[in-house]
Amino acid sequence: MIQQQTILKIIDNSGAKTVKCIKVLGGFKKKVSKLGEVIVVSVQQLRNRFKNKSKVRKGEIYKALIVKTKIGVVKKSGYKETFTENSAILINKSGNPVGTRIIGPLTKNLKLKKNNKFISISSGLV
């Protein structure tokens, strides 16, 4: 579960390394978001030292799709999917990914939530 002030790792090649959650979207009393939901984030660290090669800048605000969480999701078969870190993918205002590649596989829950744009640029499904 992701809430405000949570630090997330970025797993695409947009140039950002870590981001901080500013706002959880989806309602006025909503406090936490889960796998496959969109949040508003601010860029905290950049991946490389060459700022003119990066697609993002430090301090910029983007939307992000949550793809991995430490607290797992229980499937219908009883299997619990957990990860070692909280990860996200940066998206722009039109809903397309900022990066052109996603490092590592994504979960099948994203396929059920109609996020085919992200699955097509990832390395696989878990």
Three-state secondary structure along the chain? CECCCCEEEECECCCEEEEEEEEECCCCCCCCECCCCEEEEEEEEECCCCCCCCCCCCCCEEEEEEEECCCCEECCCCCEECCCCCEEEEECCCCCECCCCECCCECCHHHHCCCHHHHHCCCCEC
pLDDT band at residue 104 under the 50/70/90 scheme: confident
Domains of the chain: 7-99 (2.40.150.20)
- Given this model, what pLDDT does residue 32 score? 94
Residue with more model confidence, 79 or 63:
63
Mean pLDDT for the stretch of residues 70-76: 84
Is the pLDDT reported for residue 49 higher than 90?
Answer: no
pTM equals: 0.89
Please state, in angstroms and rounded to a whole number, the distance separating the CA atoms of residues 30 and 38: 12
